[in-house]
Each structure stands twice: as C-alpha cells, then as structure tokens.
C-alpha cells in the first residue's frame, strides 16, 4: 500500500480529507500537522485508531524535518493543506503567513523534488483558495484562467505558493495539480470563521459582528463535498491542471447571518427574530473583497463532481453538529479563540 502525505490534516478541511482517504482504504495515510490553534486532533478522534493511519507532529517550515520525513517514506503523493488561513490574522501579522504559506510550501516542494527524482508516478496536490483571484463585481465568476489579483496578505501568500508550485512543475518537471475552492463550512470549523462564530455567539447571547453593512458576497461549499472533490482530483485530475471547486451558492453575509439566526432560534426554542437582535455591524475589514463566486464547470464536466447538499440543508447539519459536540467547541474556545475575539471584534463596535 502506497504512502500518502497529507499536510494540515488536523485542521478543518484537512481532517475531512484525512477521513475521506482513510475510509477509501487505498493508502497508508501520514497526517503531518504542527497543531497550532486551528489544528486539533479531536477532529480525527473517530479514525485515530484506524489501520494505515499515522499522525506526525511537525512544521513544514523545518526543512531538515521534511527531508528526514521524505527519506523515511516513499510518498506516492502529497496533498498540501497546511496553511495560515484567516484574513484578519494576516492583516495583524503578515510575516506568519509568508513563512508558513510561502516558505513552508517551497520547503515541501524541495523535499518532494529531491525524493521523487527519476520517478514520474508521483503527484503534488496543492489546495488553494478563490481569494487569489481578487474581488468580483456584481456579475461574472472566477475561472481557472482568471488572472491573479490578491487583495490581502493572506491571499497574496496563497497566490505566491500557487505560483511556486507551477514554477516547480515547469522548471523541474514536478508532477502537480492545484485546486482553488470557495468558502467552506461544516463540522469541526474553528470558531473564528463566520458561521461557527455566529453559532457560538448566538448560543452565548453575544454580539454577532458583521463587517460593514454585511453586503459582501461569498460562495459557500460544504466541507465534505470539498473533501470528495479533492479525492477525485487527486485520483483522476490531470497533471499541471487547475480545478475550481465551488458551491454554486452565493450569499450576502447579512442574509446568511439572518438565516442562521432563524435556524438557531428554532433550534433553541426562541421566538423568531430573537437572535437577529444580536447582530452588530462593526468597522469593515481593511481590503475587504466585495464578492467571490466560483465557476466550477470544469470539474463537473471533466470529473463529474458537483455539490451534494443545498445550502440550507448543509447549514442545518452544521448547526446540529455543533449542538451535538459541545465538548469539542468548549475545548477549542477555551483559550486562543476567546482572547482573539475579545481583542479583534469588541473594539470595532
């Protein structure tokens, strides 16, 4: 059975990808994660004792560690998800994003290049974001051919890492594939992001911070649908290709928050409208992109993938998961998140 390296596998999207590949039974999975604030082994408690699964704690910024890891395993492929991913944090501390997302990716590319010399049956799969494309107006969609126009330190760091992956493919012949996805939601999402933040704050009767007027638009993708797309691209995608993964599901932030409030009111037995009273408009984020929307026609046409859930159904499943997993939520909100929320949202009201 071939070894497969998944980086960032203890994070939100990564844990769902790890679980998906474990259940396929095709690979010996090595999950590499630094276990920063967003990496949590509780996300994989249900599969941690499965055969052909190993967790390794390590940092992709440590090139010697990576070289030793690649020497110890003959990796058939790498699925690279390890990244700093929160835009607000990138504005506060861009150097962390440059170090992890750019330098860390290049370190991983160098380790793969050295280990895979003379081997053509390998694949480096780099998981990226739609934010590298910049911001859309009221019409149009991001295509795989859309020019890059990143607007934040986070998206700039991801755009840079995308370019390095392609450069290693073109310069050194490293087999690669890239996907760019829209906003993910679902179980195990760290509660600094919009949907889990709102769920947590509604339950605790805290303000629901909405940037500006809440008119920014995002395309939402259920995380398990994303994991399914990643497996499909890794198995059947073409080398040197890019695939956009989107939910065909655009929502204004304020409309999403109001829908979530209504779902939560029903779940909590509140009078309808109770949770909406918690909505608090805060000073807009610097460089806040107005609209993202993915055209996922290519992956549907070439690989047969499309989302499996309607948004309201996925949102209801997400709310149910957070209610059924209070211990997980309490664990991850006991330290870093609460401090971060207090420092970065309360003072904007």
Is the per-residue pLDDT at 152 higher than 50?
A: yes
Catalytic (active site) residue 131: yes
Structural domain contains residue 191: no
Structural domain contains residue 43: yes
C-alpha span between 107 and 104 (Å, rounded): 5
The rounded mean pLDDT for the chain is 92
Report the first-to-last Cα separation within the chain, whole angstroms: 54
Structural domain contains residue 274: no
Give the DSSP H or E segment for 242: strand 242-245
Structural domain contains residue 159: yes
pLDDT of amino acid 338:
44
Q: One of 33, 59, 84, 130 is an active-site residue; which one? A: 130
Q: Give the count of domains, the chain.
A: 1
Phi, psi of 251 (to 5 degrees): -140, 135
Structural domain contains residue 30: yes
Q: One of 27, 125, 154, 345 is an active-site residue; which one? A: 154
Reported as a pLDDT band with limits 50, 70 and 90, residue 320 is very high
With a pLDDT cut of 70, the percent of the chain lying above it is 95
Tokens of 209: 């911070």
Sheet holding 183-185, edge to edge: 183-185, 217-222, 250-252
pLDDT digits (tens, 9 = 90+) for 285-308: 777 888 999 999 999 999 999 999
Cβ atoms of 153 and 94 closer than 8 Å? yes
C-alpha span between 160 and 164 (Å, rounded): 6
Tokens of 108: 């991983």
Average of per-residue pLDDT across 14-39? 94
Q: One of 33, 59, 84, 131 is an active-site residue; which one? A: 131
pLDDT digits (tens, 9 = 90+) for 201-235: 999 999 999 999 999 999 999 999 999 999 999 99
With a CB cutoff of 8 Å and minimum separation 6, the contacts of 100 are: 60, 61, 82, 83, 84, 157
Is the per-residue pLDDT at 260 higher than 70?
A: yes
CA 45 from centroid of its chain's CA atoms: 19
Cβ atoms of 161 and 102 closer than 8 Å? yes
Average of per-residue pLDDT across 129-147? 93
Structural domain contains residue 313: no
Report CA-CA distances (Å) from 67 to 71, 108, 182, 195. 6, 9, 32, 38
Structural domain contains residue 312: no
Catalytic (active site) residue 154: yes
Specify the range with the lowest mean pLDDT, choosing from 26-40, 108-122, 124-138, 332-346: 332-346
Is the per-residue pLDDT at 347 higher than 50?
A: no
Catalytic (active site) residue 215: no
Structural domain contains residue 335: no
Rg (CA), the chain: 20
pLDDT digits (tens, 9 = 90+) for 187-203: 999 887 899 999 999 99
Domain hosting 111: range is 2-185+220-245
CA 120 from centroid of its chain's CA atoms: 28
Phi-psi region at 35: left, alpha or beta (left = phi > 0; alpha = psi -120 to 50): left
pTM of the model: 0.92
CATH number, position 56: 3.40.50.720
H helix intervals, 253-334? 253-268, 297-303, 311-324, 326-332
Q: Which residue has the tokens 């065909």?
A: 248
Contacts of 299-302 spanning 24+ positions with Cβ under 8 A: 299/179, 299/229, 299/232, 299/233, 299/243, 299/244, 299/245, 302/237, 302/238, 302/243
Tokens of 48: 């941690």
Which of 33-47, 131-145, 222-236 is most confident? 222-236
C-alpha span between 37 and 335 (Å, rounded): 9
Cβ atoms of 58 and 32 closer than 8 Å? yes
Q: SS3 sequence, 93-118? A: CHHHHHHHHHHHHHHHHHHHHHHCCC
């Amino acid at each position: 059975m071939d070894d497969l390296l998944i980086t960032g596998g203890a994070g939100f999207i990564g844990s769902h990808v790890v679980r998906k590949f474990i259940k396929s039974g095709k690979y010996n999975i090595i999950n590499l994660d630094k276990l920063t604030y967003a990496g949590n082994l509780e996300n994989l408690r249900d599969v941690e004792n499965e055969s052909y699964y190993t967790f390794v704690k390590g940092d992709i910024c440590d090139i010697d560690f990576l070289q030793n890891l690649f020497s110890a395993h003959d990796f058939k492929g790498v699925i690279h998800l390890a990244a700093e991913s929160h835009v607000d944090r990138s504005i506060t501390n861009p150097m962390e994003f440059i170090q992890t997302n750019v330098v860390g990716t290049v370190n991983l590319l160098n380790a793969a290049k050295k280990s895979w010399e003379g081997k053509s049956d390998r694949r480096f799969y780099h998981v990226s974001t739609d934010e590298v494309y910049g911001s859309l107006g009221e019409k149009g969609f991001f295509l795989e051919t859309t020019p890059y126009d990143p607007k934040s330190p986070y998206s700039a760091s991801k755009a840079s890492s995308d370019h390095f992956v392609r450069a290693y493919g073109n310069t050194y012949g490293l087999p690669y594939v890239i996907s760019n996805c829209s906003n993910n939601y679902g179980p195990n999402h760290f509660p600094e992001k919009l949907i889990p933040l709102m769920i947590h704050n509604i339950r605790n009767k805290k303000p629901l911070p909405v940037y500006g007027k809440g008119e920014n638009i995002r395309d939402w993708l259920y995380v398990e649908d994303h994991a399914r797309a990643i497996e499909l691209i890794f198995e059947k995608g073409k080398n040197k290709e890019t695939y956009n993964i989107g939910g065909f599901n655009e929502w204004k932030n304020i409309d999403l928050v109001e829908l979530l409030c209504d779902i939560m009111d029903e779940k909590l037995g509140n009078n309808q409208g109770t949770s909406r009273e918690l909505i608090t408009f805060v000073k807009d984020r610097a460089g806040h992109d107005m609209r993202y929307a993915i055209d996922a026609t290519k992956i549907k046409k070439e690989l047969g993938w499309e989302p499996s859930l309607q948004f309201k159904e996925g949102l209801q499943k997400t709310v149910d998961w957070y209610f059924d997993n209070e211990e997980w939520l309490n664990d991850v909100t006991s330290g870093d998140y609460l401090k971060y929320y207090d420092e970065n949202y309360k003072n904007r009201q």
